[in-house]
Amino acid sequence: MREVAPTSSLRSLALPRLTRGTASAKAAFLSGVLRLPTSTKRRLAGPPVVLDGLTLDLDTQLVLRLKKVAREPDVETLPVPAARRALLAQTRLAGGQQPIGEVQSCRVAGRPGRLYVPRGRLVRDHGAGDPLLVFFHGGGWVYGDLDSHDPLCRFLAERAGVRVLSVDYRLAPEQPFPAAYDDALAAYRWVTANAGWLGADTSRLAVGGDSAGGNLAALVALEAARSGLPLAFQLLIYPATELTRSSASHRLFGKGFYLTTEFMDGCADAYLPDAAMQASPAVSPLVADLPEGLAPAYVATAGFDPLRDEGEAYAARLAEAGVPVEAQRFDGLIHGFANWVELGATNRAALSRIADALRVGLGVGDETRTAGARTPAHALARGLRDTPGHVRRTAALVGRPEAADPQAATREAAEVEASGPASDAEPPAEDVAR
C-alpha cells in the first residue's frame, strides 16, 4: 500500500479539527496527536530538525508543523488587538486547566493581580509566612495578561509549593517604556510592604517571569539590590536581557521556531519608540552595572530560541559578579515552552525542573525554622552555589533522552484535576485608596 505523504496526512487530519473545532476539541485533538507512537509522530512531523548541533524536540516540531498546516496567521501580521486575542487563545489551548488550591483576585499597587495559593498552603501557620514568587508575564511588553499565564502560574505554585502573585502591567504601544518597568517595580515595593496580607515571608520573596517578564524581573532584582529591598531569588525563564538583539541565536532561530525576528522588531518598536534606548541599561540588564547583594538566580533557556544567547550571557555576567546562579538550557525546546503546560511530556518535564529550582531557591522544605530565625536570603540558594565566577550548568532534560523521564511527566499530566472557583480578595486599605 502506498504511504500517504506526511503533509497530506497532516492536512486532512488537522484542518477540520484546528480550524472549525471548539477550544476544548482542539485541545483534545492536539493531546491525542502527541500521544501517538513516536514513529507515527516522526512520520507526520518530517525529518529531524538539527541546527547549531541541537535536535528539535519531536513534539515541538509536530506542533509547529500542525500550526503551519492549519494556516494560522503569524501574530505579527495582525493588528495589536487581534494579535492579543490570538495569543491568548494559543496559550489557553497549550496551558490547559491546571489544579490549584485557591485563586484570589486583588489589586497590587493599583494594578490587577492574581494570588495563587497551592493546596499545601491553604491552612496557614499564622506565626510564619509562606514563600512567594512575584511573577511578571511575557509577551514582548505588548501582549499577555493574567489569563495568558494563568496555567503556568498555577503549575509553578503547586509544583514548587509556593504562593505566586501574578501582576498585570501596562502594555505598549498604548503605554511604552517606562510604564511596564514602573508598574513592576511599584508592584514589588508594594509586596514588601504588604507581605503579611499576602501571607508571605519577606525573607523568602522571589521575582520571576518569562521573556519580557523575565526582563522586568531581572531589572526589579537589580533595583531591589540597590535599594536594599528584601529579595531571596530570581526565576528567569528565557529572559530578554539585551534589546539590540545582536546575538548569534537571533540570526539562527529568528524564523521558523515560533518567535520571529519580525515579531521581536514590532515589540521593540512599540515598547521603545526611541531605538537608541535599546542599548540602555535601563532596559537591557546584560549591560547594566550589577550591584552588591544581588539575589541568586536560576536562568532557563531554550536551545531553539532567539533569546538563548543573551539569557546565557546574563547568567555568565551574574556568575562573574559572584552571584550564585544556575543556567539550564533545554536543548530541544523553543521560545514560549513555559506556556505549553499541557502539550508534550518534554515541556512538562522542563517546567517541572524550573519549578523545582524555585522550590530550592525559596527554601521550601525548611519549614521547621522558627519565625524570626529564617535562613538569610543568600543561603537559600545553597543548591545553586558553585565556585565564584562560574555558572553552574545542569544537563538539559530535553534533547538528551537519557536525562529525561517523559513517562513521569505524562503521569503528572494524567493527575490534573479540576480547579476550584476563583475568589475575589479585598486588598489592604492602603491600596483601596490608590
Question: pLDDT value at position 40?
Answer: 94
The mean pLDDT of the chain is: 84
Question: pLDDT value at position 98?
Answer: 95
Average pLDDT rounded to a whole number, residues 230-248: 96
Question: pLDDT value at position 121?
Answer: 82
Checking if the pLDDT of 414 tops 50, the result is no
Average pLDDT rounded to a whole number, residues 25-49: 90
CA distance readout (Å), 108 to 136, 271, 432 = 12, 22, 10
218 touches 234 (CB < 8 A):
yes
Q: Take residue 415 and report the three cell numbers written for it.
A: 493527575
Query: What confidence category does residue 71 fall into, taking pLDDT thresholds of 50, 70 and 90?
Result: confident
Nearest alpha-carbon partner for 395 in 321, 319, 324, 303: 303
Within 10 angstroms of residue 216's Cβ, the number of other Cβ atoms is 31
Average pLDDT rounded to a whole number, residues 59-70: 90
Question: pLDDT value at position 74?
Answer: 86
List residues with catalytic annotation. 211, 305, 335
Is 89-432 a domain of CATH 3.40.50.1820?
yes
Checking if the pLDDT of 395 tops 90, the result is no
Query: What confidence category does residue 368 fall into, taking pLDDT thresholds of 50, 70 and 90?
Result: very low
Question: pLDDT value at position 431?
Answer: 36
Question: pLDDT value at position 403?
Answer: 35
Query: What confidence category does residue 294 fall into, taking pLDDT thresholds of 50, 70 and 90?
Result: very high
Checking if the pLDDT of 387 tops 50, the result is no
% pLDDT > 70, the chain? 78
More confident residue, 298 or 433: 298
> Could you tell me the residue ranges of all domains in the chain?
6-77, 89-432
Strand partners of residue 51: 54
Average pLDDT rounded to a whole number, residues 95-111: 95
% pLDDT > 90, the chain? 70
